Every structure is written in C-alpha cells, then in structure tokens.
Structure 1
C-alpha cells in the first residue's frame, strides 16, 4: 500500500492536523476537569464536582448544591470525539487515496458537507457549554452558598481549565469553518467556475487576435 503526503503540504491537510489536535484538547480538558467545593465550619466537608456535571449533595448539613449540566457537557465532548474520529478517517483518505479523492467529485463534496456539519456542531456545542459553565459557576458561587449557611465559609477551586476548554471550543469552530474554503476549492462547484472563466478568457483572447 502506497502513501502520499502531498495533501499535507496543502492547507486542507494542515487544517486537518490542527483540527485533530485541538479537538482532543477541547474534549479532554472538559471531561478530565474536577473541582472541589470546601466548607469551613464545624461540619466542614469537601465535595467534588466532575464530568458530566450532574450532581446533588449537601454540604455543611444545611446547604444543598445541585445542578444538571450533563446535556451541555456531553454534547460538547461528543462533538470533540466525533471531530477527532472524522479527522483520523479523512487524514487516512488523504494519505492513501488522495488521487481518487481528486478525481471523484463525490469525495470532495462529502468532505465539504461533513465538515460544515461539524463546524455547526462546534458552534452549537461551544455555545451550550458556555451556558453550562456559567450555570456551574453560579451554583457554586461562595457568596451564594454563604447565604444558605451564614456560619460557614466556602471556597471553590479555579475554573480556568473550563475557561480554556471554552476558548478551544470556539477556536475549533473557527478552524472548521475557515477550512471550508480550502475544501470548497476541491469541489466541482469551484473547479467548474474556474474552467468557465478560463474558457471565457480564452475566447476573448481568440477574438482579440482575429480582430487584429
């Protein structure tokens, strides 16, 4: 079996590698994040919040913390996993059957449409998870928790890792959306228009020569 790296010297191949890397970073930072809520008082406790962020527990015996953000988190993570799997598949296509990819119009069109769907998923998933992250910060806000138990002091660890996952999520949307241009150039739509323009240009040149 012969392999070709020609596609990876082009923007479409480079974009696939970047999309693969950042898809892994996005879902890994979300799925592997944990946070601890500490209560400082006589009945002080520590509770851990982790993926998929669906929880309900009591802390300090009189304070209940609950939230169900699993749908937002799982949608975001699923988008990352699907994107990673698609990148593996299409990278293999570029490496193994790139000549067939270029000669069969169905391949670029399918690649274009699937990439469009995943770009939409990244926008929707990042927006949903942004809403979920905001809700998680609100539920675990130490000031809000202190209102339920005035004899306790609460501390919550940093949300920086989740903030990074959100930034990477929107970066993924940008990567997948901007990559559509390079895929569009491989489709029969773009190539047909280019051929038409060349034919028009050649016809104009021929007429000019005849007039001379």
Structure 2
C-alpha cells in the first residue's frame, strides 16, 4: 500500500496518535477494573470471611445477604450493597471505543489519502466537526463517570452498607474495601482526552476551507 507517514510529523498527525493511546487507556482502565468489599466476621470465635466482588458495568445488587448462614449462633447479620452506575460507566466506555474507531479511521485517511484530504474541502470540514463532537463527548462522559464513581464509592463505603439483624450481641463485621486508584486514573484520563481533542481542533481547523479562506482574504488585503 502506498502510505504517506509524513503527516505524523505534523501536529495533527501526532495528536491523532495521542488520541489513540489515551482513548484505549481511558476505557480499558474502567473495563479491566475489579473491585471487592470484604466482610471479616467472627462467629463462635471462628473467623468467617465473605467477599463481594463487582466490576464493569458496576451494577451492585447484593441484597440482604446473610453472613452467617447455617451457624448455630444467634447472630445472623445481613448486608445489602445496592447501586446501579452502569449508565455513566457505559457512556464513558462507549465514548472511548467510538473515539478509538474514529481515530483509527482518520489515521488511515491521513496516511492513505493525504492528497485528497488537502485538495477536497469537505474532508477537513468533516474531520473538524467530528473532532468537535468527540471533544464534547469526552467532557460530558468524563463528568458523568466522575459522578458515577463518586456514587460507587459511596455505595461501597462501610458507613453506607445496609445492615440487618444488628443488636447489642450481634454487631457489624469489620469491612475492607479495595482501592479505587485505577478508576480515579480513568477519570483523569477522560478529562485529559477532552483536553487533547479540544487542542487538536486548532490543527484540524487550519486544514479547513474556513481557515484557508481567511488566510486568502488577509493575503489579498495586504
């Protein structure tokens, strides 16, 4: 195939490579995450552990789970962890996947049809409009996912978990929660993607007829 890679020495080509890398990093950090809430109980002086695991798309549905089933002790606490944060997570991941697919497509256009890109006024305009759309999508999906992540942290917090069967003799079990560092990074990557796509607007705009026309007007005026 006759490919022209010189465009990747230009800012618009370099930015697309960055889009590719950070789009993958953003949605992969969400889809590959696995969290857990561990209940470290003790019944009849015997340790008993229950681990509730959750992952993407973060639909938490632990409802009145008994931590001491079948035990002869009178202590039978039940726990509930309820929360659906799938819409925010899926919006974020969908934005990342669509951004990845568009970036692959436009990279191919840059490399294979660079001459057409520079001579056909419509192609740069389409590139610019789609870049605007993805900048807006990254901003809105990152904000939504940041809100969803906040809700996920709240739902799995030891002070928020729902308990039943608790009294003076049957107390809550100690709870340990997995770290959210990967998901925190995903939010940062989301807003970083917004910045990269917004910054690329200038370089794509310079290829459009709007910019070229303005340059021509300025040159004629001089």
Q: Tell whether the structures are fold-level matches, with TM greater than 0.5.
A: yes
1:12 equivalent in structure 2: 12
Instruction: Tell me how far apart the structure 2 counterparts of residues 31 and 93 of structure 1 sit (CA, whole Å).
Output: 29
1:178 equivalent in structure 2: 199
3-state SS of paired residue (1:142): coil
CA positional deviation for 1:147: 6.6
1:118-150: CA deviation from partner (whole Å, max 9, x where unpaired): 111100100000000000000001233387654
Larger helix share, 1 or 2: 1
1:90 equivalent in structure 2: 106
Aligned partner of 1:154 among 175, 197, 221: 175
Instruction: Tell me how far apart the structure 2 counterparts of residues 72 and 151 of structure 1 sit (CA, whole Å).
Output: 31
Instruction: Tell me how far apart the structure 2 counterparts of residues 146 and 44 of structure 1 sit (CA, whole Å).
Output: 17
3-state SS of paired residue (1:47): strand
Compute the TM-score of the two structures, normalised by the length of structure 1.
0.91
Is the aligned partner of 1:50 residue 2:55?
Answer: yes
Q: Contact conserved, 1:146 with 1:154, CA < 8 A, in 2?
A: no
Q: Contact conserved, 2:80 with 2:162, CA < 8 A, in 1?
A: no
Aligned partner of 2:145 among 129, 145, 153: 129
Aligned partner of 1:163 among 175, 184, 192: 184
CA positional deviation for 1:183: 0.4
Q: 1:15 to 1:21 in 2, by over 3 A?
A: same
Instruction: Tell me how far apart the structure 1 counterparts of residues 160 and 177 of structure 2 sit (CA, whole Å).
Output: 12
CA positional deviation for 1:6: 1.9
Larger strand share, 1 or 2: 2
Unaligned runs of 5+ in 2: 68-76
CA positional deviation for 1:5: 1.1
Instruction: Tell me how far apart the structure 2 counterparts of residues 124 and 151 of structure 1 sit (CA, whole Å).
Output: 39
Q: Report how many residues are paired.
A: 201
2:74 equivalent in structure 1: none
Is the aligned partner of 1:110 residue 2:126?
Answer: yes
Runs of 4+ with >2 A deviation: 58-61, 143-151
Unaligned runs of 5+ in 1: 202-212
1:131-170: CA deviation from partner (whole Å, max 9, x where unpaired): 0000000000123338765421111010000000000000
Instruction: Tell me how far apart the structure 1 counterparts of residues 217 and 131 of structure 2 sit (CA, whole Å).
Output: 27
CA positional deviation for 1:49: 1.1
Q: Contact conserved, 2:163 with 2:172, CA < 8 A, in 1?
A: no
1:209 equivalent in structure 2: none
1:1-52: CA deviation from partner (whole Å, max 9, x where unpaired): 3110121111000000000000000000001101110001135310101000
Compute the TM-score of the two structures, normalised by the length of structure 2.
0.87
